[in-house]
Structure 1
Amino acid sequence: MSKPDYPVRTGRLALRPFTFADHAALHSWQSRADVNRHLYHEARTPEETAESLVKKVSLTWPEREGDVLSLAIEKDGEVIGEAVLKYLSEYHRQGEVGYILHPDHHGRGYATEAAVAVLGLGFDHLGLHRIVASCDAFNEPSWRVMERLGMRREAHFRHNEIFKGAWGEEFVYAILAEEWHRMADSRPGANGA
């Protein structure tokens, strides 16, 4: 297990730990109902965003089971979203990846590019064996990212919980370290693509 040097750079992005100076950027999407539509929380107040930022700033690398690493996604010096790596199980070497972008930056491949970097951190730096991702089954842009990453849909949970007042559905995707490394030359962003 080796902590990476920050920022982690991709073709167009830089991923780095959040700082308290990122409050306005973070609040720019955490305060939006359209962004939170598929998330477990509602649009946040500035104070609630500040509370979530404290958690993000406090962890710069997941060292133990249960740790959640949130990295700011920068494009040309502007924070446009976040990428998340959850350390689910140390013994089973399992993790979970996630991503949120401000809607002004949707549709340009940034979520995929950031997620490629985070999957690399999970497999190459944290030594994970399997990484999952999940989303609301009705959040097609999110599950399309998972498919572009080479993740396979392993589950479709129908009516698995009451989500924001109605029965929710969830897709679960996963990829193994051996699959990730095998597709190194064909994944999005490989070889400058």
Structure 2
Amino acid sequence: MPASPAPALPPLPYTPAHPLRTERLDLRPVTLDDTTAIHAYRSLPEVCRYLYSNPIDETTAHEAVTAQAARTTLRTSGDVLQLAVAVRETGHLIGDVTFVLTSTTHRQGGIGYVFHPAHSGHGYATEAARALLKIGFEDLRLHRIQAELDGRNTASARPLERLGMRREGHLRENEFLDGEWTDEVIYALLADEWRALRAPEDRRPPAPSAP
């Protein structure tokens, strides 16, 4: 008996509704007005230590934010969606997240995130990354989503593990960063696993209406 064909992706291009609202955060397109806030953390050596980019100065920040601001729609394999992350209560921008439509043929995507260290320890990265997984698995009906990070970056690995992503690979000394060979680790989640993780949440009764 021939195998059933894989479900097709929804029609592209895809532009998410904005803002994407989580419990505490708003995820929205990056704008040039975000340059100062993004420069504030992407200029920090401790933030860029495990990234594939160096700390940026003000000029480079403007160029980087200009590029990010254009990444609002997914049309084909390789396209990137870039979103600023703001705390809804204050409107303060605390980081940015990335979703990559890796392959339309194989229905695969990738996620990444960078946050200001002053806002670590509050679960914001986990909350924002969950919203990216929801885009991939529920809006785009992808089969697999992965994240790659420097093997030394245990702080960024923890949100992926909290989300149920599986550590699939450990590539030894496959990147040369800041004058040294470094390892890379790969985390991934499948659509079936996402649905299983979401099932208990979907069975919760709706919250009672306010009187």
Aligned mates of 2:113, 2:200 — CA distance in 1: 21
Aligned mates of 2:134, 2:102 — CA distance in 1: 16
Aligned mates of 1:35, 1:64 — CA distance in 2: 30
- What's the CA shift for 1:83? 1.1
- Counterpart of 2:29 (choices 17, 28, 31) is 17
Aligned mates of 1:121, 1:98 — CA distance in 2: 13
- Counterpart of 2:171 (choices 157, 170, 179) is 157
Q: Does 1:77 find its partner at 2:83?
A: no
Q: Does 1:27 find its partner at 2:54?
A: no
Considering only aligned residues, what root-mean-square deviation do their CA atoms show, in Å? Answer: 1.7
Counterparts of 1:79-98 in structure 2, within 5 Å, are: 79-98=93-112
Counterparts of 1:97-176 in structure 2, within 5 Å, are: 97-176=111-190
- What's the CA shift for 1:186? 5.4
Would you say how many aligned residue pairs link Structure 1 and Structure 2? Answer: 190
Q: Does 1:57 find its partner at 2:69?
A: yes
Aligned mates of 1:95, 1:191 — CA distance in 2: 31
Task: Report Cα offsets for 1:65-119 as digits up to 9, x if no partner.
Answer: 1111110000020110011101111101111001110011011100000000011
**SS of match in other structure, 2:18:** coil
Aligned mates of 1:160, 1:143 — CA distance in 2: 18
Aligned mates of 1:100, 1:191 — CA distance in 2: 34
**Who is 1:184 aligned against?**
198
Larger radius of gyration: 2
- What's the CA shift for 1:127? 2.2
Structure 2, gaps ≥5 residues long: 1-9, 207-211
**SS of match in other structure, 2:82:** strand
Q: Which amino acid aligns with 1:47?
A: T
Q: Which runs of 4+ in 1 moved over 4 A?
A: none
Q: Percent identity?
A: 43
Q: Which amino acid aligns with 1:98?
A: G
CA contact (8 A) 1:185 1:191 kept: no
Aligned mates of 2:79, 2:179 — CA distance in 1: 29
TM-score (normalised: structure 1): 0.93
**SS of match in other structure, 1:175:** strand
Aligned mates of 1:191, 1:33 — CA distance in 2: 46
**SS of match in other structure, 1:178:** helix
Task: Report Cα offsets for 1:95-151 as digits up to 9, x if no partner.
Answer: 100111001101110000000001101111222110000111111111111111110
CA contact (8 A) 2:175 2:184 kept: no
TM-score (normalised: structure 2): 0.85
